[in-house]
Amino acid sequence: MKQNRLIPLAALAFFILIVLVGLSNSIFLTIDAGDRGVLFERFGGGLDKENIYSPGFHVIAPWNTMYRYSVREQQLDEKMTVLSNNGLNITIDMTVRVNPSYDKIGDLHEEFGEDYIVSLVRPEIRSSARKIFGRFGPEELYSTKRDEVQTMIEKDLEETLKKNFIDLKAVLIRDIELPAKVKNAIEEKLEAEQAAFKYEYILDQERKEAERKVIEAQAKADANKILNASLTDKILRDKGIEATLNLANSPNSKVVVVGGNGDGLPLILGN
């Protein structure tokens, strides 16, 4: 009798085991590092946006569904054609790095779903780029405004994505490609401007050198006036005598010629 009772129990246990094995993937699950999970309770309150499941092992009811989202930073490369403020087609190559807000996975899933990159991020990148690039001319984009444009796109895109549960990490403009004729014209203009700046610099240096020479000449003239005003015949005679004595005391041989007219100074000729 005991054996007859054990058979149905064993069969029931085996059946339960088979069911558990078949449903194991739905009941037991592991969320990997770098991922987060949001649970949809089929017979409960629907999407549980308040409880975000962190990495690790979890047990859920087989009729519920766990949606997993990677919260690692994702890099999106976008190449598109935009219009400048004068209607010229410009090809740009951008890189944008984003990741979902960790604690807003439920809201993101409810509003945009698992394909949020396609339905949200890429359209916003293109919209922001077209809006910002349309404020500038080709020459500005090619030469001076590239960093400014990048900063403006990053600020505009950050505000939009933040409202939709996405964190923006960086915006990088890798390349701005203008039509060949426009690019050549801009380069020629920039070269001409640089040549003009160089020429103006040379002229400025020449003007400064001329001013320096005038100041130097004026200083010499003023010094000569002061010197001439201070020199007298007696001072010159004393200086001559002093020089003659110094020469006379030197060990070198010399010839002394005495000047005439009573007040001439001696002249000493050496070897």
Would you say residue 228 has pLDDT above 80? no
Proportion of the chain above pLDDT 70, given as a percent: 68
Q: Are 100 and 131 in contact, with CB atoms under 8 Å apart? A: no
Give the pLDDT confidence of 238-260 residue by residue, as tens digits. Answer: 666 776 777 667 666 555 555 55
pLDDT band at 5 (very low <50, low <70, confident <90, very high): low
Cα angle 153, 155, 158 (rounded to 5 degrees) comes to 100
pTM (predicted TM-score): 0.60
pLDDT band at 2 (very low <50, low <70, confident <90, very high): very low
In this prediction, residues 221-239 reach a mean pLDDT of: 69
Q: Which domains does the chain have, with CATH numbers?
A: 2-70 (no CATH), 74-178 (3.30.479.30), 233-270 (no CATH)
Would you say residue 101 has pLDDT above 80? yes
pLDDT of residue 255: 56
Give the pLDDT confidence of 122-173 residue by residue, as tens digits. Answer: 999 999 999 999 898 877 877 778 889 999 999 999 999 999 999 999 999 9
Q: Are 236 and 259 in contact, with CB atoms under 8 Å apart? A: no
Would you say residue 10 has pLDDT above 80? no
Give the pLDDT confidence of 53-78 residue by residue, as tens digits. Answer: 999 888 888 888 899 999 999 999 99
